[in-house]
Amino acid sequence: MTTKLAMPLKQRKQGMLENVMRQFDNAADIINLNGNIRKILEVTNNEFVVHFPVRMDNGEVTIFTGYRVQHNNALGPYKGGLRYHPTVDIDAARALAMWMTWKTSLAGLPYGGAKGGIQLDPSKYSKAELERITRRFTYALGDNIGPELDIPAPDVNTNPQTMAWILDTYMSTKSPAERSTNMHVVTGKPIGAGGSEGRDRATGYGVFLTIKFWANSNNISLKGKKFIVQGFGNVGYWAAHFMEKEGALLTGVQDAFGTIYNENGISVENLLEYTKENNGSIQNFKGSIGIENSEFFGLDCDICIPAALGNQITAENASKIRAYLIAEGANGPTDVEAEKILLEKGIDIIPDILCNSGGVIGSYFEWLQNRNGEIWQLEEVLTKLEKKMKESFTKVMEVSKEKKVDMRTAAFIIAIQRLEEAYVQRGIFP
């Protein structure tokens, strides 16, 4: 029997943790955040790094490294996704966990923030291997996750099937009498395994809703507006789907395989069907031309939706952007230096903690249904989601105008103030 270590395929772009800290510091300074509470929010509560062996299909054993970072639980159980990607490391997990704390607080949910995942490229493994990897990771985390403690969800390269494996593994470690009461240990599950109607499209629908709210507040119609999407996974597809239904025109798409463009429009549904038959890739889609990846952000469009990974819009490419609105479907796609350039150009940015919060709101609805033994219909879920996101958007716009700050700073101010209030009221034990 041979054993090998799963090594990262590429290095993570630096600066994600630095970005979130600079965003936090900026908002904390404006509201003159209590110094003691600031110290608490600047650090994570718990960090877990687990190394675990998994037998591959060829009989070899590979050692994988998994992470779970729990940032803060002042408002409720930790909540956040698990991603499978070569860039997953402790710093990335810290940054993403912090963003989750601000996101759940901004949305007014009874959750804190967490994030994690496994450092690997899932395309290199079979479905059977991914199942064993997921189950061993779940077992390694043990009681550090739980329905009232820390509730994972899908993220980059994970999906409802991944959540079903985690659920089954976690439940298998409990006594028979306890198993049915642990359904809400993860969200984003398949419908048949306790998932919620609408959870699949919640993030992308939320991205679309914030764009629509923004357009309405600026007396702009989305009909005929050109938009580009980076990432054509769950978030990118659903955001594009609803944008197209509203009459907007998808002209450019970028994924891990390449970039395509058609100034006259790309059919969202046809592209989805094509990717299903083309190993998930958008490349060589009929009715589009392939262009260099570096040209993507410079494409002529009205709205840009980065819905892939963090740190995609940087000081190097920010000046090329021609869109007048950026809607952050991904977590942390715009670094701090790039944001300065964009704001100076008069480009509006709907920040990630608002723009893509539909996912965690949808997760909250699933968690509630499991907890209470209820089943909601799709229409009910989407109606509740729209109402919740409208409340958050309206609040952000109000604070933005009141404080004369950009939308991201306004969102951070709201999120941090809610946490500050919780600490002031509860005090610190002992």
Q: Residue 8: helix, strand or coil by DSSP?
A: coil
Distance CA(185)–CA(147), nearest Å, equals 4
What is the residue whose two structure tokens read 């994988």? 64
DSSP code for 13 = P
Residue by residue, DSSP assigns 141-158 as HGGGSBTTTEEEEE-TT-
From 79, 103, 115, 225, active-site residue: 115
The letter for the amino acid at 248 is: A
CA angle 349, 351, 357 (to 5 degrees): 140
354: nearest Cα among 397, 324, 384, 323: 397
What is the residue whose two structure tokens read 């209820």? 374
Cβ atoms within 10 Å, residue 203 = 31
Q: Residue 175: helix, strand or coil by DSSP?
A: coil
Q: Please write down the long-range contacts of 123-130, taking CB distance under 8 Å and 24 or more positions apart.
A: 125/56, 126/57, 128/57, 129/54, 129/56, 129/57, 130/84, 130/162
Q: Is 115 a catalytic residue?
A: yes
Residues marked as catalytic: 115
